[in-house]
A = this chain, B = another copy of it.
Amino acid sequence: MRDEAIKAIFEPESIAIVGASRDPEKVGYLILKNLVQTGFKGNLYPVNPKVREILGLNSYSSVEEISESVDLAVIVVPAPTVPEVLKQCGRKKVKSAVVISGGFRETGKEGEELEKILIQIIRETGIRLVGPNCIGVDNPHIGMSMWVGVKKKGPIGIVTQSGLVGTALECWAEKEGIGVSKCVSLGNKVDVDEIDLLRYLADDENTRAIAIYVEGIDHGREFIQAASEVSRKKPIIALKGGRSKLGVRAASSHTRSLSGRAEVYEAAFRKSGILTANSLEELYDFAKALSFLPLPKGRGALVVTSSGGAGILASDLADKIRLELPSISERAEKRLRQLLPSHCVFSNPFDVTTTTSEAFQLVMEENVADEEINAFMPIFADPLPRAAEAVKRIVEKTDKPVVVCYVGGAEVEEREKEKMHSMGIPVFPSPERAVTALHALVKRYESLMKLQASNDQSEGRRSLQV
């Protein structure tokens, strides 16, 4: 029953938008318009007693007036009116609600009291509630995107205490043709929280990696428990807001959640197998890498590039974070010297100079079985056509990750990048970001190994006890 309500948040068959508006400057218009434009697959019921129709849809005077059943109510009315609307939803047997409206705990004493009333009502009605003070829930797989109207179906699941982190990741993923699976903005999280969502996303077949932004966690122990279970199944990447004095000060006036000490969170994340991101772009890059790429079984990578400079920048960062660039085998070098022009640099980074994408393919192919090479990093740094095909050939031949960077290739770059993204091959925009993404894969592998070892240990202990 409770699980079904959580499911109704992400996969509703019908949505009532309470506070829908005809005024294009109002949030109640924005959300309805987005749901129409992203092609929501179920029924949409605008609720606004003052008008008869919005965007071609019948407008209802209240949720109770809707004759069909309603799975999800999205509530955008002024804060003082929210309790009454929620009660109506209870009588209508609406399963879940997303309260967009602000004006609760985050605004002070009065709002705090109002929030307590919400909590009371959801206890009585059994409605599961996201928010208040949030920007909604998205699931492009059923054409549902409330705040920014993203359409692309993808593998990244997002749980965030800040609307921005959600919309930033969604917009970047949309622009790159990568897409997200689910996105939920938690707001003041009076009910639905990270723990509910991690458990839901763990079983969501469209989600392959989970990006999470937290300022403060209320139930630390349960969170660690849930995260430890989930991260055995799927990678979780976390960005913590409020890691410094100024950041904590800002966080305390945001959702007023207790934003604990950074080290405590880092330890908790490590313990539960969560990867830490240090910036918004890292959160995106890591989620992108982890939802598309297989894991490398070690720290050795082969960098192949058409630009010496790109190879050097990649090497500098790789060295700093202790990735390894092992030499290619004598056998591979000998073969490649026969196949490629002599002015190539037959080393690691392997510089094919400005030849063709096929040269990249050859170099990777010849080293595909090398046990010291756990990952490939082709850095295309010129207008090189057919890069997508070359990479695809390698991806088909190996379960080692191919972390692609394409930069400085003008229109050819744009075209090839688009092709790769449509094939599910992520492309990173600079050598350093590609190396950092590979590092995330390595850390995920190492953390999984650790989780498994502790599993084996506890199983061992159990069998001893038997």
The residue on B at minimum CB distance from A414 is B175
Given B147, B149, B308, B313, which contacts A255 in the complex, CB threshold below 8 Å?
B308
CB pair B307–A246 under 8 Å, yes or no, is: no
Would A309 and B164 count as touching, CB distance under 8 A?
yes
Across the interface, do B407 and A309 meet the contact criterion of CB distance under 8 Å? no
CA distance A319 to B251 in the complex (A): 13
Q: Is B280 a contact of A311 with CB atoms below 8 Å?
A: no
Known: A148-B383, A313-B241, A410-B148. A325 touches B246 (CB 8 A): yes
Say whether A313 contacts B279, CB under 8 Å. yes
Q: Which residues of B contact A27 (CB under 8 A)?
A: 354
Contacts of A215 in B (CB 8 A): 309, 312
Knowing A164-B310, A309-B164, A312-B250, say if A171 contacts B410 (CB, 8 Å): yes
Tell me if A115 counts as interface (CB < 8 A to partner B).
no
Determine whether the beta carbon of B381 is less than 8 Å from that of A164. yes
Whether, in the assembled complex, A315 has its beta carbon less than 8 Å from a beta carbon of chain B, the answer is yes
Top-4 shortest CB links A-B: A162-B309, A254-B308, A167-B408, A244-B319
Contact status A247-B167, CB under 8 Å: no
Closest chain B CB from A234 CB (angstroms):
23
Give Cα distance in the complex from A353 to B381, angstroms.
41
19 A-B pairs, CB-CB below 8 angstroms? A103-B343, A135-B382, A150-B410, A161-B309, A164-B308, A164-B408, A167-B382, A171-B410, A242-B312, A242-B316, A247-B313, A247-B316, A247-B319, A250-B311, A250-B349, A253-B345, A254-B308, A254-B345, A280-B313
Interface size class of A (residues with CB under 8 A): 35 or more
Question: Given A312-B254, A316-B244, A410-B171, are A102 and B162 also a contact pair (CB < 8 Å)?
Answer: no
Q: Does A334 lie at the interface of the complex (its beta carbon under 8 Å from any beta carbon of B)?
A: no
Contacts of A351 in B (CB 8 A): 253-254
A430 at the interface (CB under 8 A from B): yes
Nearest chain B residue, comparing its CB with the CB of A306 = B164
Q: Contact: A315 with B249, CB < 8 Å?
A: yes
Q: When each residue 194-214 of chain A gets 1 if its CB lies under 8 Å from chain B and 0 otherwise, what string results?
A: 000000000000000000010
Known: A168-B430, A244-B319, A409-B171. A312 touches B347 (CB 8 A): no
Q: Is A318 in contact with chain B by the CB < 8 A criterion?
A: yes
Cα distance, A126 to B320, chains bound together (Å): 44
One of B102, B168, B241 near A353 (C-beta < 8 A): B102
Asked if A164 meets B407 with Cβ closer than 8 Å, knowing A250-B312, A279-B430, A281-B433, the reply is yes
Task: Tell me which residues across on chain B come within 8 A of A162, comparing CB atoms.
Answer: 307-310, 312
Interface 0/1 of A413-430, CB less than 8 Å to B: 100000000000000011
- Shortest distance from the beta carbon of A73 to any chain B beta carbon, whole Å: 20
Contact partners of A389 in chain B: CB under 8 A: none
A19 at the interface (CB under 8 A from B): no
Instruction: Say whether, besides A102-B353, A410-B148, A316 and B246 are in contact (CB < 8 Å).
Output: yes
B150 pairs with A247, CB closer than 8 A: no
| Cβ A315 vs Cβ B247 within 8 A | yes
Measured CB to CB, the nearest residue on chain B to A349 is B250
**A254–B311 CB distance below 8 A:** yes
A325 to B171, CA, bound (A): 28
Say whether B347 contacts A253, CB under 8 Å. Answer: yes
- Asked whether A245 is an interface residue with its Cβ less than 8 Å from the other chain, the reply is yes
- A347: B residues at CB distance < 8 A: 249-250, 253
CA distance A27 to B382 in the complex (A): 11
8 Å CB interface, A266-287 against B: 279-281
**Given A168-B381, A246-B319, A253-B345, 7 more pairs with CB closer than 8 A:** A147-B382, A165-B309, A168-B408, A174-B410, A241-B312, A253-B351, A280-B432
* Residue pair B253, A309 in contact (C-beta under 8 Å): no
Judged by a CB distance under 8 angstroms, whether A291 is at the interface is no
Give A429 Cβ to nearest chain B Cβ, in Å: 8
Q: Which residue of B lies closest to A284 (CB)?
A: B430
Is A243 close to B, CB under 8 A?
A: yes
Roughly how many angstroms separate A106 CA and B351 CA in the complex, as a whole number? Answer: 12
Question: Cβ of A253: which chain B residues have Cβ within 8 Å of it?
Answer: 308, 345, 347, 351
Q: How far is the CA of A349 from the CA of B148 in the complex (A)?
A: 24
Is A11 an interface residue, CB under 8 A from the partner? no
Best-surrounded residue of A308, A351, A382 (most CB of chain B within 10 A):
A308
